[in-house]
Every structure is written in structure tokens, then in C-alpha cells.
Structure 1
Amino acid sequence: MTQLLLRPNIELEPKALAIGGRRLEILCVKNLEPLISELEAEGRQEIAHFPFWVKIWEASIVLTDWLVHTGLDNNQEILEIGAGMGITGLFLGAFGHRVTLTDNHADALALMEKNAAHNKIETVRVSDLDWHKPNTDETWDIICGSELIYRKSDVDPVIEILKKKLKSGGKAYLAHDIARMSMMEFLMEAEKEFDLSHKGMAFTGMGEKKQIVIHTLKHKA
């Protein structure tokens, strides 16, 4: 792996996380305040600039657990888009799957590399991927992602990524909190290009219960 570096104002702390019977120690951002203050100083306070990559999303935990128990073929190549903390890809890598973790935020990429090295996961690689300007000709057997769509402008680029980067016969698995209404427009557009199926699952933790939906997409025949 290349040695990407986190900015010095980002302090990390380890948190144990167990999914599917496997335990990893995930290095997380200890204090979000320096990042928020930096955005405020730059006048970038709108939601588009919020550092979503710092959070371990409930949807990513549910998606990871579900994928671990679906019996994925270890010969399949997996791409995680908008990976953020890279929870799904890191755990799949820990189970021996070959995974490419992608995001478009330099600190997120550096932290994923650091967590892969910290947990001695050798089957993952980390790569920059801008949905609006994808810079790779590779294709994958499986594409996954959690809580991807927050802006209307991301709908078409994500659909294009799935169209062009998902191999024939491959599947994409996307998860989100059922309360996240921003996915609805994406799903309406996606069903023009893909066959869709949906599965609802419950997540209970931190004193609250959330309903997570996992969407499976595959190219129309």
C-alpha cells in the first residue's frame, strides 16, 4: 500500500467492533470539533461538506453482517464505493475477500489504509474514486455501499458507476436507514437500468432501534 497520511489535527482512538463473529479494532476520529471548526472557518457549513466519513453508520454494520452470511465466493472481486470508514470492505477483507475500498476524501482514504494495516488485512487496497469523474477501467463482481445518496447530483453518477463498473452477472448491494428519503429518487432511476430487490432488517444499538433496507441490484437481462 501507499503511505497516505492523515492531517496532524485528526486524533484517533481505537474502538472494538465485532461483526459476523470477527472482531477488528477500528481507529476512529476522537474529536470531530477540529474538522467542523475548519469547515466553518472556510465558510463550508452546508451538508455537502460535512465529514460523513468519520462515522460508523448503522447501515454499514447491517450490510456487512448480511454479506458475511450470504456465502460470498472468495474468488469474486468486490468494490466498496463511498466507503468512508470502510467498515464493510475491511471486514470482508478480514474474511479473506479481495476488496477495493474507495472514497474521494483524502483523510478517509488515509484512515482506511491505516485501519487495514492496523488489523493486518492484506486482501484490501484503497483507491480514490470520484463518482463524477471515475478514473478506472476496472470492473467488479460485487459493488457495495452504505448511506450513499445525500444530494440529487449524486443520483446519476452513482447509477453510471454501477452500470459501467459492475460485471455482467454481478450484483450491487446498497444499504441505508429507511428514514433516509434521499434514496427514493435514486431507486426510481435505478429501476430503469437494473432489476431490484429489497430486504428490511432491524438494527438495535446505542439505546435505539433503526430499520435498515438493503437493496440488491443486477443488470436487466
Structure 2
Amino acid sequence: MGVFVDTVIPLSAPLDELLGAAKSRYDVHFEPVTVGGDTLQLLQIDDVAALIDRQLARAGDGPVELPYWATIWPAAMLLAHSLRHLGAPQGRTVLEVGCGIGLVGLFAAKQGYTCLLTDIHPDALLFTQINILQNGLSDRASVAKADFTADRLGRRFDVVIGAEVLYLQDTYRSLLKFFLAHIALKKDAALLLSKDFTRKATRFMALADEEFTISERVVGYKETAPESGEPERKLCQIYRMTPKKIA
């Protein structure tokens, strides 16, 4: 179920070859991640902070592309936990936008959804395809490169999900159009988005309110503060949206 993207190796290659390609670019390891009663082995960069420091040092005063795709964001973990509220997964399809290493979509596949995980970054797709194969989910999960500001996939999904995809205001209108082009036009379809509470997305929600019925849930979690090493309470917002226009 692999596809060709802008990597040095096609994603249809065997797991050992894909893993070799990842190791040629990064120091990596598999890490167990548990959501509910399910545990997946997810490929991780050993030290993302150190990688960012090296990239900044190499870039000097020039532009630098930070590996945000490689981070497991708390909003992604909480969104994965929220999947259990969607009802029975059998026969239902999921599209993940901005999948990163594929955490949310992979847990959806583990639960029984048929999932397409998309991202624009070729290394994100490489890591996601490795994680699909490593966890034996190739019968229910696949990857595709998708730029939500320009691309269309030509199909609709029962559930569309995205964690921390509301960080660029300039993309809000394009992102909303992408969601509208891919969400199934039926009453049990759902768009699930999660974000850090401090990341405001007022303009996106105003745009989305014209097309979706929106419910919001605020979830608290604890995260270790890097300065003190002490647990710090933070908040995440999870939005469930249903399309107002039904076929």
C-alpha cells in the first residue's frame, strides 16, 4: 500500500530497507506508546532537541526547517484517546492530516478503522510507513503525500483528524476547504481537531462555524517543565465538528 514520495527510497520498499533509510539520516529507536489498552512501537528520533540545535547551528543566519513532524505532541496523544468516542470503527474510513510520525492514525487503524495518513514532509511519510509495517497495520493503514493548501485526494472519509494543524493563520482558509472536500456528507461524519490551549485559532473557528456544527472539550494534562523538572498542568482543546450540509 506504499506510494512514491520525495525520498531516496520508495515507500513500497520492505521494512528493513525503509528503516535503513531512516537510520542513514537520523539516530532513531522504537519506543512503546500506549493509548487506552493498545500499545504501538513508534520510530522516534533519539534527541529531537539536539537535532534542532544542530540544524540551527548549521543554518547560521539562513532559513532552517525544524522537524516539528518528528515530535509526539500532547494534543496528538489526547486526540488518540478521543477516538473511542466515535463509536464502532468497522467499515469506517479515517483521513489524518499532518500525521507526523502517524501516531493518531495508527491508533485509529489499531482500533479497526481503515486509515489514510498524510503529510507534506517526506521524512514524516517515511517514519509513518515504517511504523505501519512495524506494527503489522498495512491491511488497514496507508500513507500519501498531501499538501492541504493545494491537493485533493478525490475521495471522502467518515472521519478526518488533525493534531496541531492550526498553527499558521495564512493556511486557515485552504485547510478548511481541504476538510470540506474530504469529509463525508452524512450525519455521522466527524472532523476531530486538537491543539494546545494557548495556540489561539479564533479565525479558523469563525470560518469553520459557517460549515460545521462545533463542540469543544477542554482536557487537562501534566507535562514536565524543562527548566524545573517539575510537573506542570496544561490544557488542550479537542473539537468535534459535523458538517452542516448533508448529501
**Larger Rg, first or second structure (1 or 2):** 2
Distance, in Å, in 1 between the alignment partners of 2:68 and 2:203 is: 20
Distance, in Å, in 2 between the alignment partners of 1:105 and 1:6 is: 13
What is the aligned counterpart of 1:201 among 219, 222, 246?
A: 219
Tell me the C-alpha RMSD between the 2 structures: 1.8
2:143 maps to amino acid: V
What is the aligned counterpart of 2:174 among 148, 152, 157?
A: 157
Aligned residue in 2 for 1:172: 191
Aligned residue in 1 for 2:164: 147
Q: Residue 148 of structure 1: CA displacement?
A: 0.5
Distance, in Å, in 2 between the alignment partners of 1:113 and 1:209 is: 33
SS in 1 for 2:130: helix
2:206 maps to amino acid: M
What is the aligned counterpart of 1:98 among 106, 114, 120?
A: 114
Q: 1:113 to 1:220 in 2, by over 3 A?
A: same
TM-score between the two structures when normalised by the length of structure 2: 0.81
Aligned residue in 2 for 1:52: 68
Gaps of 5+ in 2: 3-11, 225-230
What is the aligned counterpart of 1:26 among 17, 42, 62?
A: 42
Q: Residue 69 of structure 1: CA displacement?
A: 4.2
- Contact 1:89 / 1:100 at 8 angstroms: preserved in 2? yes
What is the aligned counterpart of 1:184 among 202, 213, 223?
A: 202
Distance, in Å, in 2 between the alignment partners of 1:11 and 1:116 is: 19
SS in 1 for 2:173: helix
Q: Residue 17 of structure 1: CA displacement?
A: 1.0
TM-score between the two structures when normalised by the length of structure 1: 0.90
Q: Residue 72 of structure 1: CA displacement?
A: 3.6
- Contact 2:152 / 2:181 at 8 angstroms: preserved in 1? no
2:177 maps to amino acid: E
State, as a whole percentage, how many aligned pairs show the same letter: 24
More strand by share: 1
